[in-house]
């Protein structure tokens, strides 16, 4: 399939770019998408939660009452979990929530999301550009040309471009990423995906490896 290339004013240039059906035309695999999004969100967790167990509480170790003869349950020191201020039983400990996911599954997830976006007509191609200096105002003009101001959008670069990135950094609903930095979460979270013309072929080759 082919898509028309637009210029920075949102007008058609007359050129087209071919999109491979192996990447943008497959039957979406929802489970693969679920796994990659789950992995992405798990990696964002700090995992610094911690509660003190009985051995970590600073308190007296004196046995509060004799073992037998009181008529109530037996217990030892004040650090018991049954008392207020005592240690917690099986409380949370610091841990790393990240988990491994095969590269083939992650590529399948991206292809699935892209195929669905293509069906929804949520993918467009823009000619390559580069700002002479970081200017948010210039990027807003670009968004207005594509009617994306106030909408969630993802711009895919063929290579790192500091000025383009800095120009978009203050826009809450706009994200600019290099073609090999994108996750399925980024693709799903974007209402519209704008590929720079030079990024299309590189992105497709990256997903075919």
Instruction: Assess whether 58 and 81 both reside in one domain.
Output: yes
Instruction: Assess whether 41 and 123 both reside in one domain.
Output: yes
HEC string of 47-90 equals CCCCCCCHHHCCCCCCCCCCCCCCCCCCCCCCCCCCCCCCCCCC
Instruction: Assess whether 111 and 201 both reside in one domain.
Output: yes
Instruction: Assess whether 58 and 119 both reside in one domain.
Output: no
Measured N-to-C along each axis, helices 103-119 and 199-208 cross at an angle, to the nearest 10 degrees, of 140
Instruction: Assess whether 185 and 130 both reside in one domain.
Output: yes
Instruction: Assess whether 109 and 146 both reside in one domain.
Output: yes
Structure token digits, residue 14: 């007359």
Instruction: Assess whether 25 and 68 both reside in one domain.
Output: no
Instruction: State which of 33, 68, 91 marks the end of a domain.
Output: 91
101-to-28, 31, 32, 34, 146 alpha-carbon distances in Å:
18, 13, 10, 12, 36
Instruction: Assess whether 104 and 200 both reside in one domain.
Output: yes
What string of pLDDT tens digits covers the 209 residues of the chain? 889 999 988 888 888 988 888 889 899 999 999 999 999 999 999 999 999 999 999 999 999 999 999 898 988 999 999 999 999 999 999 999 999 999 999 999 999 999 999 999 999 999 988 888 999 999 999 999 999 988 999 999 999 889 999 999 999 999 999 998 999 999 999 999 999 999 999 888 888 76
Instruction: Assess whether 109 and 169 both reside in one domain.
Output: yes
Give SS3 for 148.
coil
Cα 157 vs. chain centroid, distance in angstroms?
A: 17
Q: Which domain CATH number covers 183?
A: 3.40.1370.10
Instruction: State which of 66, 91, 116 marks the end of a domain.
Output: 91
Instruction: Assess whether 20 and 113 both reside in one domain.
Output: yes
Measured N-to-C along each axis, helices 30-44 and 103-119 cross at an angle, to the nearest 10 degrees, of 110
Give SS3 for 127.
coil
Cα 65 vs. chain centroid, distance in angstroms?
A: 55
Predicted pLDDT of residue 196: 92
Instruction: Assess whether 32 and 56 both reside in one domain.
Output: no
Instruction: For residues 98 and 107, give the distance between their C-alpha atoms in angstroms, rounded to a whole number.
Output: 18
Structure token digits, residue 116: 């669905």
Contact 166, 92 (CB under 8 A): no
For 61, the domain range is: 51-91
What letter does residue 153 receive in the DSSP assignment? E
Instruction: For residues 150 and 173, give the distance between their C-alpha atoms in angstroms, rounded to a whole number.
Output: 7
How many distinct structural domains can be found in the chain?
A: 2
- Tell me which H or E stretch contains 1: none
Q: Give the residue among 151, 125, 127 at the shortest CA–CA distance from 140.
A: 151
What letter does residue 150 receive in the DSSP assignment? T
Instruction: Assess whether 71 and 169 both reside in one domain.
Output: no
């Amino acid at each position: 399939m082919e898509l028309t290339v637009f210029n920075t004013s949102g007008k058609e240039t007359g050129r087209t770019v071919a999109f491979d059906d192996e990447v943008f035309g497959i039957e979406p695999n929802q489970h693969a998408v679920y796994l990659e999004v789950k992995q992405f969100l798990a990696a964002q967790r700090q995992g610094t939660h911690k509660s003190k167990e009985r051995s970590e509480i600073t308190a007296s170790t004196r046995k509060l009452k004799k073992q037998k003869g009181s008529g109530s349950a037996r217990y030892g020191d004040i650090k018991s979990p049954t008392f207020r201020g005592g240690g917690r039983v099986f409380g949370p400990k610091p841990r790393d929530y990240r988990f491994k996911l095969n590269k083939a599954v992650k590529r399948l997830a991206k292809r699935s999301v892209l195929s669905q976006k293509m069906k929804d007509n949520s993918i467009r191609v823009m000619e390559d550009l580069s700002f002479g200096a970081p200017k948010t105002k210039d990027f807003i003009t670009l968004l207005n040309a594509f009617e994306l101001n106030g909408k969630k959008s993802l711009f895919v670069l063929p290579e790192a471009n500091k000025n383009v990135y800095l120009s978009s950094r203050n826009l809450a609903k706009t994200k600019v990423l290099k073609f090999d930095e994108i996750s399925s979460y980024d693709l799903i979270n974007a209402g519209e995906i704008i590929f720079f013309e030079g990024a299309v072929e590189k992105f497709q080759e990256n997903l075919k490896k």
